[in-house]
Amino acid sequence: MTYLDIPGWFDFEDAYDLLYDQVSDGGVVVEIGTYLGKSTAYLAMRIRDGRKVIHFFTVDHFQQGESSYPQTLANLAGADVLSWVTVLQMESAAAAALFKDSGVDAVWIDGCHDYEAVKRDIELWLPKISRLIGGHDYTDRWPGVKSAVDQIFPNARKGGISWWLHDLNLKVCKGNTA
């Protein structure tokens, strides 16, 4: 079994490859929105098979749709990656409170896609990160994601239906919001 066998909406392998490359040995990565672990399993597999130690956390309250904490654990175990990720069963805001400012290298936002929720996730996690912030579903199908990203990060890079900022772009952005 691999990540391909897990149900979900993961089509951002390229973005997760970029994220993996951006994070240094010993770094911390947080994913908001696990669902059943499809994207989680892909990044955990990259970490398992790579040369860097990366502390990877995925966050979901598992209260939406078919999302499921026990099924996610089973899926990650089936894909042989359970040891390479910590699943935090909680609200995004509660998870953000566990990390110190600038203590996270990269955050990927794929939780609730409403405008207010995306805006809140960006505002919650932006102070925590040092290298990359990005997310999924920047598409007309999810106008709330587009509006929040366009408002806060007009210069975000786009690829497929993902968006992200990293390195210099991010410093400029943090400077603008200070």
Ligand X SMILES: C[S@@+](CC[C@H](N)C(=O)[O-])C[C@H]1O[C@@H](n2cnc3c(N)ncnc32)[C@H](O)[C@@H]1O
CB closer to ligand X, 38 vs 146: 38
At residue 131, the 3 state secondary structure works out as strand
For the chain, state the CA radius of gyration: 15
CB closer to ligand X, 33 vs 134: 33
Beta bridge partners of 55: 28
CB closer to ligand X, 139 vs 169: 139
At residue 29, the 3 state secondary structure works out as strand
- As separate numbers, helices (DSSP H) first and strands (DSSP E) second, the chain gives 7, 7
Least distance between ligand X and beta carbon 61 (Å) = 4
Where do contacts with ligand X occur on this chain (CB under 6 A)? Answer: 8-10, 33-35, 38-39, 59-64, 67, 91-92, 110-112
Least distance between ligand X and beta carbon 176 (Å) = 25
Q: By beta-carbon distance, which residue lies closest to ligand X? A: 8
Least distance between ligand X and beta carbon 40 (Å) = 7
Least distance between ligand X and beta carbon 172 (Å) = 28
CB closer to ligand X, 155 vs 161: 161
Cα separation of the two ends of the chain: 45
Question: Which one, of 76, 86, 91, 69, lies nearest residue 38 by Cα?
Answer: 76
